[in-house]
Chain A
Amino acid sequence: MASVGGAVVAAGAGAVGVTPHVLAVDDSSVDRAVIAAILRSSRFRVTAVESGKRALELLGKEPNVSMIITDYWMPEMTGYELLKKVKESSNLKQIPVVIMSSENVPTRISRCLEEGAEDFLVKPVRASDVSRVFSRVLR
């Protein structure tokens, strides 16, 4: 796993620009490593960052993010707050966002879906979950 400026970058197969680029956001270093590996195994190009703030910084510079997958509970900015900011931005609102959480709370799930999340995955996330959601969303 290569580490670039605090972000974990893992390249999937295929040329840059052809392979979908997924931005993974999670304050847990363990979960970042796991989700990056799952995405890499599904042949995505991955950048993993530790916060919503870093995610927004990167989204401001990197124009070709195909999807965002973010943890719900993070300090300073939750995944829900990140989702709202993405959906409120004219530049970013078209990017699909998937939320992850270790808690299966129906009201939380509804709130995220109503705010525009594509899906809500309960942790620990499996490769089959990613494959199912991403193939549907990125079709």
Chain B
Amino acid sequence: LVLQGYLDEQFNQLEELQDDSSPNFVEEVVALFFKDSPRLLTNIELALEKYPQDFYRLDSLAHQFKGSGSSIGALRIKNECSIFKTHCNGRNLEGCRRSLQKMKREHANLKQKLETYFQLLRQVGPQECAVNSWK
């Protein structure tokens, strides 16, 4: 329930890769994402503020962020990045700006949800946690 609608099946794939030799693998990968993603968002923001806008570069930056998000199963981030890329293709600056704000909100929401999820896992253990409740 904590993660419902926020993550897709890729997150489940990550959990299947977690084992005794890497018991915190999922949390480590998520931490890598949230370590790197603020920089990607800042790069997009800076690129949007430049004039004239380089929509090819904006698309490329969104592609990076989308790829990274997809790797941890960040469904809403992935979807919003696709919308952003569509705005880039249409050279729609206002659309890009609105979409970036949504990307930032989804990013912050997901971070909060995952922090809660991992906290719950530590408290109750993975067997007790409804792993598939994020679907």
Contacts and interface: CB of A to CB of B under 8 A. Distances in A.
A29 interface: yes
Contacts of B28: 1, 33
A28 B68 contact: yes
Interface in A39-73: 40-41, 73
B108 interface: no
Interface-centre pick from B10, B35, B71 (highest chain A CB count, 10 A): B71
B63 interface: yes
Nearest to B60: A73
Interface in B57-116: 63-64, 66-68, 70-73
Interface residues of B, number: 24
Contacts of A30: 29, 32-33, 36, 68, 71-72
B61 to A, nearest CB: 12
Interface string B1-27: 000000000100110110101100100
A111 interface: no
Contact of B17 (A37, A102, A103): A37
A31 interface: yes
Q: Is the interface of B mostly helix, strand, loop or mixed?
A: helix
Nearest to B18: A37
Contacts of B19: 41
Contacts of A73: 63
Contacts of A38: 17
B13 A127 contact: yes
A83 B63 CA distance: 22
B19 to A, nearest CB: 7
Nearest to A102: B67
Nearest to B69: A30
A40 B18 CA distance: 11
B70 A123 contact: yes
A65 B81 CA distance: 36
Contact of B25 (A37, A102, A123, A124): A37
A33 B29 contact: yes
Contacts of B70: 102, 123-124
Interface string B28-55: 1100110110000000000000000000
Contact of B67 (A31, A40, A127): A31
A133 to B, nearest CB: 16
- Of all A-B residue pairs in the complex, the 10 with the closest CB atoms, nearest first, are A102-B67, A37-B17, A30-B71, A29-B32, A30-B32, A124-B10, A30-B33, A33-B29, A30-B68, A31-B71
